[in-house]
């Protein structure tokens, strides 16, 4: 049996995926892992490949979704995305988005969250 925080994380990722699909994005990969780290969702938004970090916050006192993506986490995301891109025949335009999910709040979508 999975720990409650893991089940909440999976539920948040599923919600984020469905929500992004409702916005027109298309899922390419979920929980992409390599030595460098993990990317929650990899989606296509037209011609753009979107690497999505999903952040669930059970309480607003823990800070915002964007604040929770530390410089160390950003570096892991960048390295993991580079690994994913090396598998492709050509490199499409890319961006990094953050989806913030909090109980009883609208989904927070931060496009181009990392530069």
Q: For residue 46, give Cα distances in angstroms to 1, 23, 43, 67.
A: 38, 11, 9, 28
pLDDT value of position 3: 59
pLDDT block averages, 10 residues each, the chain of length 115 = 66 94 97 96 98 86 75 94 96 96 88 87
pLDDT value of position 5: 55
pLDDT value of position 9: 76
The CATH number for 62's domain is 3.40.1350.10
First to last CA, the chain: 38
pLDDT value of position 62: 67
- How many structural domains comprise the chain? 1
Give the domain range for residue 12.
4-114
d(Cα 115, Cα 60) in Å, to the nearest integer?
25
**What tokens appear for 67 in the block?**
């604040």
Residues 6+ apart with CB under 8 A from 26: 43, 44
């Amino acid at each position: 049996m999975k720990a409650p925080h893991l089940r909440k994380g999976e539920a948040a990722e599923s919600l984020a995926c469905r929500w992004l699909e409702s916005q027109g994005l298309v899922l390419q990969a979920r929980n992409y892992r390599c030595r460098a780290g993990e990317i929650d969702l990899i989606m296509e938004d037209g011609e753009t490949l979107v690497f999505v970090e999903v952040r669930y916050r059970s309480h607003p006192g823990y800070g915002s979704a964007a604040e929770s993506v530390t410089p160390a986490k950003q570096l892991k995301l960048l390295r993991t995305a580079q690994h994913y891109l090396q598998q492709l025949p050509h490199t499409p335009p890319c961006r990094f988005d953050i989806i913030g999910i909090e109980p009883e709040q609208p989904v927070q979508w931060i496009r181009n969250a990392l530069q």
